[in-house]
Amino acid sequence: MEILLDILSWIFLVTGSFFCLTGALGLFRFPDFFSRIHAASLTDTLGASLILIGLMFQAGWGIVLAKLIMILFFSIFAGMTASHAMAKAALKSGLQPLEFKGKNEQGQEGEQPSKP
Amino acid sequence: MKDLFAVVMLTGIYSLLTASLFLDLDAVDVAFTEASVGAGISTLLMLATLKLVGRFERHTRYKPALALGVVLVTGSLLVYGTLDMPHFGSADAPVHQHVAPRYLNDSMAEIGVPNVVTSVLASYRGYDTLGEILVVFTAGIGVISLLRVSRRTKKDSRKKVPVDMQQQIILRIVAKMMLPPILIFALYVQFHGDYGPGGGFQAGVIFAAGIILYTMLFGLSSGQRVFKPVVLELLSALGILLYAGVGVACLLLGGNFLEYNVLRHDPVHGQHLGILLVELGVGITVASVMITIFFKFTWRTVKHKYKNE
Amino acid sequence: MNILGLYNYWIVVVLMMIGFYIVIAHENLIKKLVGLTIFQTSVFFFYISMGKISGATAPILDEKWQLYSNPLPHVLILTAIVVGIATTALGLALVVRIQEAYGSIEENEIQVQDYHDRMEGQLEAYGFRKKHVLSVQKLEE
């Protein structure tokens, strides 16, 4: 039983760290602010949740488990709301999303907006 | 870096990193305080100041040669001075010899509180903590007197929430949902400070952060309807009065100033009661001073907005 | 080499010098306050790293642990952090008032305005009229 808990928590922790790392990579590589928010917030929230679930397996039954569940809920809410607030603030200051450059299937061309 | 907004954000990240480093150095109470105060309130107040003074630095011409020289000389002198210091993590350093073992060994017997930092802060070194909340109170008085608001602007700006804030439905709903857990968490940290990391300061700052969240999303007038500025100023004085009042009560009951042993029939119970009341006073003062400072900064931005219209 | 055990003090010295450099070299008042924050944090590190014992745990008494880190620096730094935020808040309020009084928060512009005000005050004390003050300002530029 101990080994099963250890293996499960290992899987969750490693997957969570992988998601966090790819989120950080996306922060660098994406061209536009909105796609960067998308990458960072989604993958970071998922990665943090997986890491917390992996820690829950190690905690055992007790007050630590309850605290970890509360931290999980709080970090999900706060992360999503923060990225929503950032995107809304960026839209309100006039930053437009990057449009598709090149031709799509109908042969229409997109355009490059102004980017700070 | 000319963008002061980026500078403030990086300062917040720096505070968070130092908080995690404190955690690694086994200082859990200090990490808690640094995270809540440095990465929370300090960043918030700097952002409020940026709103008032302007976001960009004017020009970055400065002559770094003399400053670099002074810094290098001072730095090398300091490094030379640290060559005699005890090694990192050594258990026989002089700092661990005299007072600290006495606190660690006798704290459970004399005070009965597992968190030694709380027992030292509130009981063994309670006089210093009284001075500390007096400093917080003085800073609150200083900010109130610097950023004074005239009566005329108070009457003008009793308006409703601005229109763009009413459209932030998601933020308002999430804030309404998260505000009760934040306040309950602040109370939990306040009263659980005897058994885990926590205590009055962290609780006061978390409480103030919850109220500031509410005020940011629902408008300054709604925030001030709930927490009237007069009440907040009275509360900040009340916290210190509670702390010093406990000390005077100990005097009246026959002991020394802030000697909690005489408060109850049993010294350990007296210490518990004394620490409880004292931390409550600290929490009340810190929370009300932080909220007052934030309100004063926000009044100033509101006054600017209505002056420019 | 036994001086490699002192690396925590060197980190503290580096941070302290960074904060010191920011305070004396930059002109923007908010950047000076940020430098002061970095300086304060380096002092906190100094105390906390002196209080740490290898193989010890946080100073919350528990039956399972024998060795605890020193709680006394933690108490001092707790006080210091709160005092630091109090002075930072007061400093930021001062920056706001300086901006309203002088129109800028760059140190050299504030000093130039102070110099002008002082020169005007001295010339008025000697009985000169406003017309002569304008010639002083033109000499400055």
- Asked, for residue B107, whether it belongs to a domain, the answer is no
Q: Work out how many domains chain B is built from and give that number.
A: 2
On whether any CB of chain B is under 8 Å from the CB of C113, the answer is no
- B158-195: pLDDT as tens digits: 555 555 566 678 888 888 888 999 999 999 999 888 88
- B265-281: pLDDT as tens digits: 888 888 888 899 999 99
CA angle, C140 as apex, C139 and C141 as ends, to 5°? 95
* B128, C46 Cβ separation under 8 angstroms: no
Provide Rg for chain B, Cα atoms.
Answer: 23
- First-last CA distance in chain B: 32
> What is the structure's pLDDT at B82?
81
Domain boundary among B51, B69, B102: B102
Using a CB-CB cut-off of 8 Å, the residues of chain B touching A81 are 170-171, 174
Task: Tell me if A81 and B168 make a contact (CB, 8 A cut-off).
Answer: no
Domain co-membership, B147 together with B275: yes
**Which residues partner with C106 through β-bridges?**
C28
Domain co-membership, B133 together with B63: no
Domain co-membership, B91 together with B163: no
- B73-100: pLDDT as tens digits: 988 888 888 887 777 777 777 777 788 8
Highest averaged pLDDT of the listed ranges A18-32, C5-19, C74-88: C74-88
On whether any CB of chain A is under 8 Å from the CB of B174, the answer is yes
Q: Which residues contact B271 (CB under 8 A, 6 or more apart)?
A: B110, B111, B112, B113, B119, B123, B260, B261
Domain co-membership, B98 together with B64: yes
Domain co-membership, B20 together with B134: no
Give the residue-averaged pLDDT of A74-89: 87
On whether any CB of chain A is under 8 Å from the CB of B162, the answer is no
> What is the structure's pLDDT at B60?
64
Domain co-membership, B128 together with B179: yes
Domain co-membership, B227 together with B121: yes
Residue type, B20: S
Domain boundary among B50, B69, B102: B102
The backbone region for C36, taken as left when phi is positive above 0, alpha when psi lies in -120 to 50, beta otherwise, is: alpha
Domain span including residue B88: 1-102
Q: How far apart are CA B122 and CA B118, in angstroms?
A: 6
Q: How far apart are CA C96 and CA B52, in angstroms?
A: 7
Domain co-membership, B80 together with B175: no
Task: Tell me if C96 and B293 make a contact (CB, 8 A cut-off).
Answer: no
Q: How far apart are CA B10 and CA B22, in angstroms?
A: 18
Does pLDDT of C134 surpass 90? no
Q: Which residues contact C103 (CB under 8 A, 6 or more apart)?
A: C109, C113
Q: How far apart are CA A45 and CA A72, in angstroms?
A: 10
Domain co-membership, B298 together with B233: yes
- The number of beta carbons lying within 10 Å of the beta carbon of residue B179 is 15
Residue type, B298: T
Nearest to C90 by CA among B287, B146, B237, B292: B146
- Asked, for residue B110, whether it belongs to a domain, the answer is no
- C78-131: pLDDT as tens digits: 999 999 999 999 999 999 888 888 877 787 788 888 888 888 888 887 776 555
Residue of B nearest to A85 (CA): B171
- The number of beta carbons lying within 10 Å of the beta carbon of residue C67 is 11
On whether any CB of chain C is under 8 Å from the CB of B303, the answer is no
Touching chains, B (3+ CB pairs < 8 A): A, C
Domain boundaries, chain A: 2-92
From the CA of C117, how many Å to the nearest CA of chain B?
22
Task: Tell me if B53 and C99 make a contact (CB, 8 A cut-off).
Answer: yes
CATH 1.10.287.3510 fits C2-59+66-104, yes or no: yes
On whether any CB of chain C is under 8 Å from the CB of B202, the answer is no
Using a CB-CB cut-off of 8 Å, the residues of chain A touching B181 are 70, 74
Domain co-membership, B233 together with B307: yes
Q: Which residues contact B164 (CB under 8 A, 6 or more apart)?
A: A92
Domain co-membership, B256 together with B293: yes
On whether any CB of chain C is under 8 Å from the CB of B116, the answer is yes
Does pLDDT of C136 surpass 60? no
ipTM score for this prediction = 0.87
Q: How far apart are CA C69 and CA B100, in angstroms?
A: 9
Residue B309's pLDDT band (boundaries 50, 70, 90)?
very low
Is the CA virtual torsion B110, B113, B114, B117 positive or negative?
A: negative
Quick check: helix, strand or coil at residue B89? strand
Task: Tell me if C41 and B41 make a contact (CB, 8 A cut-off).
Answer: no
Nearest to A55 by CA among A65, A63, A47, A45: A65
Domain boundary among B74, B102, B130: B102
Domain boundaries, chain C: 2-59+66-104, 106-141
- Asked, for residue B11, whether it belongs to a domain, the answer is yes
> What is the structure's pLDDT at C138?
56
Does pLDDT of B238 surpass 50? yes
Does pLDDT of A66 surpass 50? yes
Domain co-membership, B126 together with B247: yes
> What is the structure's pLDDT at C1?
47
